[in-house]
Amino acid sequence: MHHPAFPDESQERELMELHEWLIKLEKLEIRRDRDKIPDREFEEECHSLIEESGEKIAIIQDRQIVAVTSSLSSALGYSPEDLAGTPFSRYVHPDELPRLAKYYEQRLSGLDVPVIYETILKHNNSSNVYIKILTSLFKYLKKPTNLAIIRVLAETR
């Protein structure tokens, strides 16, 4: 019998994937500091790294979308350029916003919050996009930043 306090096998795989992404991004940040890579060049390298993954990934800093893969923007009916620099809350279903805002603030404060959870985003056509999100903090340009890996579960029209 599965105990809810412990991850099941699929959650373990997802946590390992999240951990691997955090390591990749932290290594990139360390190399940026070591080699004194200009911020703009670093941002381009980071975006290339996540884009090449084929995953639905968003990097969120100061509540704004810093970078997003084309596969995620497409799943929400936008271009990556449309999403960049906009508040992530704009794409969260209104009923889910208080919970996600609370998680975000608690995560930034160092409190223990879920790393994997389900929620609802809004598509550009106003439909609901039901997702599973894997998220954790990492340093991006020396500031705490959220990495979000998104799995689309279903969409309603």
pLDDT tens profile 31-83 = 888 899 898 999 899 898 899 888 999 999 999 999 999 999 999 999 999 99
Q: Whole-model pTM?
A: 0.84
Q: Which of 156, 154, 150 is nearest to 60 (CA)?
A: 150
As a dihedral over the C-alpha atoms of residue 34, residue 46, residue 43, residue 68, rounded to 10 degrees, the angle is -160
pLDDT at res. 132: 94
Q: How far apart are CA 76 and CA 79, in angstroms?
A: 9
Burial (CB count within 10 angstroms: exposed 0-12, middle 13-18, buried 19+), residue 9: exposed
**Range from 12-21, 50-59, 102-111 carrying the lowest mean pLDDT:** 12-21
Amino acid letter for position 62: D
